[in-house]
Amino acid sequence: MSLWAIGAVKSLLVLVFVLQLSAFLLWIERKGSALIQNRIGANRANIFGVVPFNLGFLNTLVADPIKMFTKEDFIPAGCDRFLHALAPFMALFPALITFAAIPFGDSIVLGGETVELRVVDLDVGLLYILAMVSMGVYGAVIAGWASNNRWALLGSIRGSAQMISYELAMGLALVSVVLSYGTLDMQDMVHAQGRTVLGFLPAWGVFFQPVAFIIIFVAGMAESKRVPFDIPEAESELIAGYFTEYSGGKQASFMLADFAEVVVVAGLVTTLFFGGWQFPWLAADGFHLPLMGTIEVSALVVTLLQLMAFSLKVLFFCWLQILVRWTVPRFRYDQLMDLGWKGMLPIALANVVFTAALILARGEGS
């Protein structure tokens, strides 16, 4: 098996995972919000009305895409047609490829070759993620600019200001994470979280960098432009913000990009702070339970458990973001900026200094 084939399969796998999870999240969001709000939610998906029960998330997997992509693709007069068409892809593409650096499993041996369970074996994975997340802003800005609509323009101005502000806090929080792991390679970070501390506690990053976790999670939610950070698209203020003038498949792309960003944030948080694919107390040869000794497990089961652990953790953080989205109101533009610049940035900076001082004091620095 050539490396190319393996790479292609892995890319496809991750792409399908992110896309399907995004579509699945749309269903979870519709059903979850219904659950929160005492409603029934999406229950109309069926095949010509012959299936006696509701087809659940086929709603978003099949019905919604069919609906969205068969709608009229309306392009308003006076807009920049090229940029107008480009913007949805500029929004969706970075969101989809960000996941490439996130490891979803340990390396496995396949046909005599060692295969890393992530798309690219990038030793600067974190920088790559930071770069790709920043790319997302272009989609919003170009969409607002190309639409020839003042609401859209206002939305994109808000969006660019918001994303740039929160990237700073996020970047600084990532610096403290990098300091404590001593690596930029995300696979190494996950490996480092496989230990236990005090004999029973998995050595997850959240126990070492709780402040960074909160900042990255909040900033990540701000990057994905969802309530309470949805001021670029605040539907009651700016109609639909930067994608006011989009319809059909292009609008679906923006929605999908938002959900893909949710998945990316969940994946990032999982990898950095919650052990990534690490199943608690599971090593390559089996479980090492505290007080109970070792239980041997075959390599295949270990891999499957790790994949499952990663998926469940990602799903949990996706759900957490949905829960937050349906619980709190939206910030105002200036309050959001205050929170970013006066709240999170100084805390992140202090966290970096504190982490660095701690490492220096323990003599690990030099």
Partner 1 sequence: MSVISKDPALLHDGDEPDNRAISEIVELQMGPSHPATHGTIKFNLKLDGETVIACDTEVGYLHRGFEKMCEQGTWTQTIPYTDRLNYASPLINNFLFCEAAERLAGVTVPERCSYIRTILSEMSRVADHLTCLGMSATEVGAISVGFYMVEAREILYNLSQHITGARVTVSYGRIGGLTRDLPDDFEERMRAAIAHTRTVMGDAEKLLERNRIFIQRMAGVGIISKEDTISYGITGPLLRATGVRRDLRKDEPYMMYDRVEFNVPVGTKGDNWDRFSVRFEEVIESLKIIEQLLGQIEPGPVKVDDPTIYMPDKAKVYNSIEGLMAQFKIVIEGVRIPAGEIYFAGEAANGELGFFLVSDGSGRPYRVRVRPPCFYAMGALAQMLVGGGIADIISTFGMINMIGGECDR
Per-residue x/- track, 318-357, partner 1 (CB under 8 A): --------xxxxxxxxxx----------------------
Closer to partner 1 by Cβ: residue 105 or 241: 241
Contacts of 353 (CB under 8 A, 6+ apart): none
CB of 164 to partner 1, least distance (A): 16
Q: Considering the complex, what minimum distance in angstroms separates the CB of residue 186 from partner 1? A: 32
By the rule CB under 8 A, 36 interacts with partner 1: yes
Is the Cβ of residue 90 or residue 169 nearer to partner 1 in the bound state?
169
- 118-177 residues in contact with partner 1 (CB under 8 A) are 150, 154, 158
| Residue closer to partner 1, measured from CB, 281 or 326 | 326
Query: Tokens 């060692």 appear where?
Result: 114
At closest approach, how far in Å is the CB of 344 from partner 1? 15
Residue partners of 85: CB distance under 8 A and separation at least 6: 75, 250
Q: Say whether 287 sits in a helix, a strand or coil.
A: strand
Give me the helices (H) in the chain, please: 3-36, 58, 64-69, 81-97, 125-146, 150-181, 186-192, 205-208, 210-223, 248-273, 299-325, 333-338, 345-361
At residue 46, the 3 state secondary structure works out as coil
237 part of the interface to partner 1, by CB under 8 A = yes
**CA geometry: angle at 315 spanning 276 and 236, to 5°?**
125
CB nearer partner 1, residue 39 or residue 81? 39
Task: Find all residues with CB under 8 Å of 212, minimum gap 6, and list them.
Answer: 173, 174, 176, 177, 205, 272, 273, 348, 351
Cis peptide before 88, with omega less than 30 degrees from 0? no
Helix orientation angle between 81-97 and 248-273, rounded to the nearest 10 degrees: 30
Which of 260, 254, 272 is CA-nearest to residue 313?
A: 272
CB of 289 to partner 1, least distance (A): 40
Q: Provide the minimum distance between the beta carbon of 36 and partner 1 in the complex, in angstroms, as a whole number.
A: 5
Give the three-state DSSP class for 124. coil
CB of 197 to partner 1, least distance (A): 34
Give min distance, CB of 158 to partner 1, in A. Answer: 8
Nearer to partner 1 among residue 122 and residue 227 (C-beta) = 227
Using CB under 8 A, which residues numbered 239 to 258 contact partner 1?
A: 239
Q: Using the minimum distance from each CB to partner 1, give the nearer residue, 167 or 230.
A: 230
The 198-227 contact track toward partner 1, x by CB under 8 A, reads -----------------------------x
Interaction between residue 235 and partner 1 (CB under 8 A)? yes
Long-range CB contacts (< 8 A, 24+ apart) of 20-24? Answer: 20/61, 21/259, 21/263, 21/314, 21/315, 21/318, 22/256, 22/259, 22/260, 22/262, 22/263, 23/57, 23/60, 23/61, 23/64, 23/65, 23/256, 23/259, 24/57, 24/60, 24/61
Six-digit token string for 168: 């700073």
Is residue 2 a contact residue for partner 1 (CB under 8 A)?
Answer: no
Taking the least distance from each CB to partner 1, the nearer of 133 and 227 is 227
Which of 90, 146, 219, 238 contacts partner 1 by CB under 8 A? 238
Cβ distance to partner 1 smaller for residue 152 or 189 = 152
Footprint (CB under 8 A) of partner 1, residues 282-321: none
Q: Which is nearer to partner 1, 195 or 332 (CB)?
A: 332
Instruction: Tell me the closest approach of the beta carbon of residue 29 to partner 1, in angstroms.
Output: 12
Residue 92 or 219 having the CB closest to partner 1: 219
Interface residues with partner 1 (CB under 8 A) are 33, 36-39, 150, 154, 158, 227-228, 230-231, 234-239, 326-335
